[in-house]
Structure 1
Amino acid sequence: MLKLVKNATSNPDNQAIISDNHSYTYKDLLDSSHQFASLLLQNTSDLNETRVAFMVSPGFDYVSIQRGIWRAGGIAVPLCISYPLPSLQYVIEDTGAEIVIAGAEYAEILRPLAAEKGFRFIILPEVDKATIELKKLPNLQSSRKAMILYTSGTTNLPKGVVTTHANIEAQVSTLVKSWQWSAKDHILCVLPLHHVHGIINVISCALWSGATVEFLPSFSAEGVFGAFQKGKINVFMAVPTIYFKLISHWESLSADQQTQITDTLAKFRLMVSGSAALPVSVMEKWKTISTHTLLERYGMTEIGMGISNPYDAERKAGYIGKPLAGVKARLVDENNVVVKRGQAGEIQIKGKNVFLEYWNKPEATQKAFTEDGWFKTGDVAVVEKGYYRILGRDSIDIIKSGGYKISALEIEEILRTHPAIEDCSVVGVPNEEWGELVAAAIIVNDTNLDLKALNTWMREKMPAYKTPRQYKIVEELPRNAMGKVTKNDLKKLFN
């Protein structure tokens, strides 16, 4: 029996999920996932790693369907509910999904594709659970493939990242121990569920521990604070853009309302930020509001979480922390040689948490690993006093200009401290003379900002070779579903 299922049987009467104004126990989740597993199996005894794609809103049905796929022996392929049809079609075709499940609100989006491709199409409102004959479920080994999640595809077509049940169990159990999860915890989920942040860090860690996951029907800063003020939630995880929105809403409230929220947040056990670099300015503002120093960590679709600031020791602003228990990490240079202490290098990861393969892409899989089995993340970092500090992604955030390697993230941090700048993103744009020029897109709160004066100000803060040569004022930055700025889209603004 899978450990995620076994743990649920240990807490049958605990509250597992709150969604759509309903409360569900672990027994409800076990029963519902058994029903879905039986529905999927039909006349077979084991799906034998059949890919099952599902487009379902966050909530009880999402969780029970995902677990139903696993319990039937299938590979779960979550579809992003905000993606257009071509992106959904790419995932369905790339995985060769033979079964697709849709919530009522997504049925019409996928129906034409179902007619064209001929896959088995299950629409949730049409499922009568009462008529489903419960089947004996297969006994699964943890080495089985469990899930395919797709990379963001910022540099090329998204790749399907295959994780086994053993990978997932390693990712979850490590976080449960490191972040001290317990059955007393209650977390609010506001994250998309086609990504490890929501699936692993929030839902799986909570349900592994016998805790409660609460879902909001839709995101709003007001709704999040309203859920917090009920007094039951004590754990929260989000991306930096969500914290930015919560800060903006808090600042619009009266002094009494602000005090009430701060008093509520101060009682939380843990608050985490991830999926994108956390600006120090956001971290500091949130600490003022909540009294909490956000725990920043580092992860990827391919590894789950690999590095984290500590739960019960110093959390350093601007740093992602230290390798988690059971995870090995090292920094190497361009020749794959481990760098000397204090020097920058690419992060490489090894451990049971690391994914199995890219789906149907053996060459890409081979290129992603060293000969001795280290996964090459492509992220560049430096270790300072034992803590890893991200400098950026080698292909996106490391700008190679005039013989220098420049961290875009470092420049962004400085820009955000300017009183007229709300947010920004820095990229390298091709240049014949310099290789790349540093260019900054900025969102301002003062339309009279003098860009020449800004550049002078920047040169007082950092070496001239690091300062942007081009500035462009924009109303918003292009972002993907997880809130990461899509820098390849941003570069087009400077062409």
Structure 2
Amino acid sequence: MSEHANDQVLTGPELKGMENYRSLMDVFHEAVKRFADNPAFTCMGQTLTFTELDKLSGHFAAWLQHETGLQPGDRIAIQLPNVLQFPVAVFGAMRAGLVVVNTNPLYTEREMAHQFKDSGAKAILILANMADKLEKVLDRTDIEHVLVTELGDLHGFPKRFLINAVVKYVKKMVPSYSLPMAVPFRKALKDGASRNHREVERELDDIAALQYTGGTTGMPKGTMLTHCNLVANMLQADAAIGPGLDEGKEVVIAPLPVYHIYTFTVNCLFLMKTGNHSILITNPRDLDNFVKELKSIQFTAFIGLNTLFNALCNRDDFRNLDFSKLHLTISGGMALTKASAERWKEVTGCDIAEGYGLTETSPVVSFNPIDNIQLGTIGKPVAGTSVKVVDTDGNDLPLGEAGELCVKGPQVMKGYWNLDEETAKVLSDDGWFSTGDIAVLQEDGFIKIVDRKKDMILVSGFNVYPNEIEDVVAAHPGIVEAAAVGVPDESSGEAVKLFVVSRDENLDEKSLREWCKKELAAYKVPKSVEFRDELPKTNVGKVLRRQLRDEEQERQGEQKS
């Protein structure tokens, strides 16, 4: 339970267990020893046990140590979707002492070039599907070693051959490329199997991963996450979520990208530590095949976010699944609306426990107690974590008042890679990280996020928070999803514009505004509504308010000209 340090700070319980680990590798080896024959990861029907994960990651570590000149602390980019190669590569790289640079497979050439150059990555493991992009930017990076893997590489024959052939020749998803120095990942594992790897000692303060932020306010920044940050957050997640899990027996659906900090920490670290089984969904956007795969799995836990919950609950085939074993659903990554949570409970019979975090906090900051979920909040601070809110001048505010949320704890990043000035803007000398989120700390120890600081809309001097509007709109039975943004307005400075996806073809702007008037103060009611077939989203599924705002400003600019 969270405790009040004073009337301005909420503090989680004491964090226990850090003294047992020197690095993430201690966590890994402990899990392998305890859960040797348990399934660790499954993807497209192929499963790796903890023992097999140990063996294959050891082969990769040996190849890195004997076939490259890479030294502990060097960076290796891993650009993969949810496939079995990901955990093998991550743990293999860390066992060789390398720093993992998780890279989005959907990146453009420009984004790839920036991240590889900025991180100083000397090696990369990349899916063949985007190797043509690497070919075009390689000379703008410091990369010396290239490994390429195909989607089905860790499946047995003939399934491996069939998967790779279909992807390449039938679906034509692998553009031609020329990377003469590239080593096939399967060859690296085979060559590494004949060599011995040496375990590299790493300290808690050493960087384990460079996790790039989403770049919503400019070019992505590399967040330095140390072994201490990630071990601490894994233990914090265990203390918060663990009581709701049966160690070594859970089957957890993991549809969100493993390169994203949310899934990276929860599935690859916390669930590995507890010996549980993660089902990696390679392409959750393909809802037909996603639901088809779920039919054959007796899953006990599900990790997702608001837009995914919405999309699944709108499908009859999903609603007809067997949810009798499902007892835990976790939401993160974006705000969970009350309407989505209630619909999920109606469809699956399972409550959603919402948590909160950021890349810079490894990511978990708070979580709703499994036995005391308070819908509409992000729960209480996890163990070893303190939170407070401050005003625009940085002064601490009392409980109950809205202000910028600040976080202090062992999971807070070391800083931004090679960006001391940017680090100083958000990380104080005494360790408080400014999140950029507006929050209220409640007297009962729960935290409520009001909105993103930069997304706040100023209407005639009144603060309007998009989350509140979207929550009201999402409760309308004809709405699939919604996004509210601020647009320039001559009379009020800014006005609220609402973008919606509707399941009711008869729903119109007037009736939707009338719905809002019943629940919102007049200045919060959207001045205009635009109906769309879909809303732009990040690769993780967050609605891109900024893109909608930029599109609207550009449209208004064209009209004026």
- TM-score relative to the length of structure 1: 0.92
Mapped contact 2:101–2:211 kept (Cα < 8 A): yes
Which of 208, 211, 216 is matched with 2:276 structurally?
Answer: 211
Which of 455, 461, 467 is matched with 2:513 structurally?
Answer: 455
Name the residue aligned to 2:197: 135
* Count of matched residue pairs: 485
Name the residue aligned to 2:209: 147
Matches within 5 A, 1:367-386: 367-384=425-442, 385-386=444-445
- The CA distance in 1 between the partners of 2:504 and 2:136, in whole Å, is 48
Which of 287, 309, 313 is matched with 1:243 structurally?
Answer: 309
Larger CA deviation: 215-224 vs 323-332: 215-224
Mapped contact 1:45–1:136 kept (Cα < 8 A): no
- Structure 1 position 427 matched with structure 2 position 476: no
Q: 1:354 offset after TM fit, Å?
A: 0.7
Name the residue aligned to 1:276: 334
Matches within 5 A, 1:17-56: 17-42=41-66, 47-56=71-80
Name the residue aligned to 2:123: 99
- Structure 1 position 120 matched with structure 2 position 145: yes
Segments of 5+ residues of structure 1 without an aligned counterpart are none
Q: 1:383 offset after TM fit, Å?
A: 2.9
Amino acid at match of 2:203: Q
Q: Per the alignment, do residues 401 and 258 of structure 1 end up closer, same or farther by CA in structure 2, a change over 3 Å counting?
A: closer
Q: What SS does structure 2 have at the residue aligned with 1:468? A: coil
Name the residue aligned to 1:199: 264
- The CA distance in 2 between the partners of 1:246 and 1:454, in whole Å, is 24
Q: 1:147 offset after TM fit, Å?
A: 0.5
- The CA distance in 2 between the partners of 1:401 and 1:139, in whole Å, is 56
- The CA distance in 2 between the partners of 1:218 and 1:462, in whole Å, is 38
Name the residue aligned to 1:188: 253
Q: 1:223 offset after TM fit, Å?
A: 4.0
Q: What SS does structure 1 have at the residue aligned with 2:533? A: coil
- The CA distance in 2 between the partners of 1:338 and 1:282, in whole Å, is 33
- The CA distance in 1 between the partners of 2:46 and 2:514, in whole Å, is 57
Q: 1:391 offset after TM fit, Å?
A: 0.8
- The CA distance in 1 between the partners of 2:541 and 2:185, in whole Å, is 34
The Cα offsets for residues 433-455 of structure 1, whole Å up to 9 and x where unpaired, read as 43322111122234443423432
Q: 1:226 offset after TM fit, Å?
A: 4.2
- Structure 1 position 359 matched with structure 2 position 417: yes
Mapped contact 1:155–1:488 kept (Cα < 8 A): no
Which of 358, 380, 386 is matched with 1:300 structurally?
Answer: 358
Which of 444, 449, 463 is matched with 1:390 structurally?
Answer: 449
Mapped contact 2:307–2:481 kept (Cα < 8 A): no
Q: What SS does structure 1 have at the residue aligned with 2:314? A: helix
The Cα offsets for residues 25-77 of structure 1, whole Å up to 9 and x where unpaired, read as 21211111111112222367972211100122322211010111111111101
Q: Per the alignment, do residues 453 and 16 of structure 1 end up closer, same or farther by CA in structure 2, a change over 3 Å counting?
A: closer
Which of 160, 163, 168 is matched with 2:230 structurally?
Answer: 168
- Structure 1 position 326 matched with structure 2 position 384: yes
- The CA distance in 2 between the partners of 1:350 and 1:446, in whole Å, is 45
Q: 1:138 offset after TM fit, Å?
A: 1.5
Mapped contact 2:283–2:290 kept (Cα < 8 A): no
Q: 1:215 offset after TM fit, Å?
A: 2.1
Q: 1:378 offset after TM fit, Å?
A: 0.6
Q: What SS does structure 2 have at the residue aligned with 1:391? A: strand
- The CA distance in 2 between the partners of 1:23 and 1:421, in whole Å, is 39
- The CA distance in 1 between the partners of 2:519 and 2:283, in whole Å, is 41
Which of 394, 398, 414 is matched with 1:336 structurally?
Answer: 394
Amino acid at match of 2:202: L
Amino acid at match of 2:147: I
Q: What SS does structure 2 have at the residue aligned with 1:395? A: helix
Amino acid at match of 1:130: K
Q: Per the alignment, do residues 93 and 432 of structure 1 end up closer, same or farther by CA in structure 2, a change over 3 Å counting?
A: farther
Segments of 5+ residues of structure 2 without an aligned counterpart are 1-22, 150-183, 554-561
Q: Per the alignment, do residues 269 and 460 of structure 1 end up closer, same or farther by CA in structure 2, a change over 3 Å counting?
A: closer
Which of 463, 473, 480 is matched with 2:538 structurally?
Answer: 480
Q: 1:126 offset after TM fit, Å?
A: 5.3
Mapped contact 1:54–1:100 kept (Cα < 8 A): yes
Which of 304, 309, 312 is matched with 2:368 structurally?
Answer: 309
Q: What SS does structure 2 have at the residue aligned with 1:355? A: coil
Q: Per the alignment, do residues 110 and 15 of structure 1 end up closer, same or farther by CA in structure 2, a change over 3 Å counting?
A: same
Name the residue aligned to 2:153: none
Higher relative contact order (CA 8 A, sep 6+): 2
- The CA distance in 2 between the partners of 1:486 and 1:147, in whole Å, is 26
- TM-score relative to the length of structure 2: 0.82
- The CA distance in 2 between the partners of 1:307 and 1:373, in whole Å, is 17
Name the residue aligned to 2:26: 3
- The CA distance in 2 between the partners of 1:225 and 1:408, in whole Å, is 31
- The CA distance in 1 between the partners of 2:460 and 2:64, in whole Å, is 58
Q: What SS does structure 2 have at the residue aligned with 1:482? A: coil
Amino acid at match of 2:452: R
- The CA distance in 2 between the partners of 1:147 and 1:420, in whole Å, is 43
Q: What SS does structure 2 have at the residue aligned with 1:179? A: helix
Aligned-pair RMSD on alpha carbons?
A: 2.1
Q: Per the alignment, do residues 236 and 126 of structure 1 end up closer, same or farther by CA in structure 2, a change over 3 Å counting?
A: closer
The Cα offsets for residues 202-240 of structure 1, whole Å up to 9 and x where unpaired, read as 221111111212223432444444444445421110111
- The CA distance in 2 between the partners of 1:46 and 1:54, in whole Å, is 15
Q: What SS does structure 2 have at the residue aligned with 1:373? A: coil
Amino acid at match of 1:121: V
Mapped contact 1:161–1:358 kept (Cα < 8 A): yes
Q: Per the alignment, do residues 490 and 44 of structure 1 end up closer, same or farther by CA in structure 2, a change over 3 Å counting?
A: closer
Q: 1:153 offset after TM fit, Å?
A: 1.3
Larger CA deviation: 271-280 vs 379-388: 379-388
Which of 468, 473, 479 is matched with 1:410 structurally?
Answer: 468
Q: What SS does structure 2 have at the residue aligned with 1:246? A: helix
Q: 1:293 offset after TM fit, Å?
A: 1.0
Larger CA deviation: 437-446 vs 71-80: 437-446
